[in-house]
């Protein structure tokens, strides 16, 4: 029983680390794209509505991830 519990815990840690790495890569990519647009002289204006849309998209994405494997 102890080995089974330890295996489950190690896979949980692996998924958390994988998620953190993918989140960091995605965030760095988004930052890179925004800075490229600014460097090209494009003025970036992010409104509250844009933030709400982005937040909704992130929540929808997380819901889809949570249903994987069901």
Q: Structural domain boundaries of the chain?
A: 2-66
Q: Residue 14 has what pLDDT?
A: 92
Rounded alpha-carbon distances, angstroms, from residue 44 to 8, 49, 50, 55: 45, 14, 12, 18
pLDDT at site 1: 54
23-63 pLDDT, tens digit per residue, is 999 999 999 999 999 999 988 888 999 999 999 999 999 99
pTM above 0.75, yes or no: no
CA separation for the pair 13, 21 (Å, rounded): 12
Percent helix, percent strand, percent coil in the chain, to nearest 5 = 80, 0, 20
pLDDT of residue 61: 92
Residue 34 neighbours by CB under 8 Å, 6+ apart:
44
What was the pLDDT predicted at 68?
86
Tell me if 17 sits within 8 A of 11, measured CB to CB. Answer: no
């Amino acid at each position: 029983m102890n080995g089974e519990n330890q295996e489950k815990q190690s896979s949980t840690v692996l998924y958390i680390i994988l998620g953190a790495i993918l989140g960091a890569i995605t965030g760095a990519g988004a930052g890179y794209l925004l800075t490229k647009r600014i460097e090209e002289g494009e003025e970036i204006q992010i409104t509250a509505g844009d933030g709400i849309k982005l937040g909704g998209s992130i929540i929808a994405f997380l819901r889809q991830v949570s249903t994987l494997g069901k």
